[in-house]
């Protein structure tokens, strides 16, 4: 195997190792992360809903003293609550809490089975029923999601799944870019690769993110000196940029 092919293989392997390490760190972080706080806007106890959600989120019931949460679940929406929310009316503490969560960009979910106006579909005047149906659509326009109870769990886990998918996509793209860029690795002479260097110079053929982090933590410097033939992986370049570190080749 010639030197250029060896460098190309080393770069691809290094980036692959970084991708796997990042994914493993993400999994470990998810296992120790604090559960998101979910509030049930209900005056009555809902043990079945609690037992379904508790393994995944920290469930509590709404109290007037509450000021924030990450996920607000509305199991039942009476006619008054529906009309007030659709018209943006803060007529009481419940409406005020829901509207405040929406303004803060929090996730608000209504259970489809809890839209009480729907049980009157067979008897209600058409125009009155359409009025309340329009109110329900208005809630969706405000960002309130209407889901079936069976879908609620997947909604609670949605953020974690999206974060993992985004990270996987980002790392895969970085790996692809590294593989493509490895085709233009410059040929390095044997004399240059065996040149004696000072201890301050990083001489690894591939400079990964882990190598840069370790160097910065050990030396507490905002610059590094690397060999002219060294290759910096895309993840390492991102880290250098974020830390405003300068790179010098010698």
Domain ranges of the chain: 3-28+162-249, 34-156
pLDDT in tens, 156-205: 776 554 445 555 565 566 556 555 555 444 444 444 444 444 446 888 88
CATH match for 34-156 among 3.90.400.10, 3.60.15.10, 3.40.50.1950, 3.40.50.12160: 3.40.50.1950
| Residues 93-132: b if buried by 16+ CB within 10 A, e if exposed | ebbebbbebbeeebbbbbbbebbebeeeeeebeeeebeeb
Predicted local distance difference test score (pLDDT) of residue 119: 95
pLDDT in tens, 24-68: 766 665 544 567 889 999 999 999 999 999 988 999 999 999 999
- Contacts of residue 149, Cβ cutoff 8 Å, sequence gap at least 6: 49, 111, 112, 113
> How far from chain centre, in Å, is Cα 247?
31
pLDDT in tens, 92-141: 999 999 999 999 999 999 999 999 999 999 999 999 999 999 999 999 99
How big is the chain, counted in residues?
250
CA separation for the pair 166, 170 (Å, rounded): 6
Predicted local distance difference test score (pLDDT) of residue 196: 43
Contact assessment for residue 40 and residue 46, using Cβ atoms and an 8 Å cutoff = yes
CA separation for the pair 76, 4 (Å, rounded): 66
């Amino acid at each position: 195997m010639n030197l250029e092919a060896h460098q190309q293989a080393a770069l691809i392997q290094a980036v692959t190792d970084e991708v796997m390490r990042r994914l493993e760190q993400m999994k470990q972080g998810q296992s120790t992360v604090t559960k998101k706080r979910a509030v049930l806007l209900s005056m009555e106890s809902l043990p079945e809903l609690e037992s379904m959600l508790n393994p995944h989120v920290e469930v509590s019931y709404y109290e007037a003293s509450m000021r924030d949460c990450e996920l607000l679940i509305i199991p039942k929406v009476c006619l008054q609550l529906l009309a007030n929310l659709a018209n943006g009316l803060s007529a009481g503490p419940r409406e005020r809490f829901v509207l405040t969560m929406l303004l803060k960009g929090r996730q608000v979910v209504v259970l489809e089975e809890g839209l009480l106006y729907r049980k009157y579909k067979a008897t209600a005047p058409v125009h009155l029923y359409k009025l309340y149906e329009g109110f329900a659509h208005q809630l969706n326009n405000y960002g309130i999601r209407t889901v079936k109870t069976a879908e609620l769990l997947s909604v609670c886990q949605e953020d974690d799944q999206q974060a993992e998918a985004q990270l996987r996509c980002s790392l895969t793209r970085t790996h692809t870019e590294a593989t493509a860029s490895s085709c233009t690795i410059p040929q390095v002479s044997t004399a240059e690769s065996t040149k004696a260097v000072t201890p301050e110079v990083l001489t690894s053929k591939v400079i990964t993110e882990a190598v840069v982090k370790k160097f910065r933590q050990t030396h507490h410097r905002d610059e590094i000196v690397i060999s002219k033939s060294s290759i910096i992986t895309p993840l390492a370049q991102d880290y250098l940029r974020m830390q405003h570190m300068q790179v010098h080749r010698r």
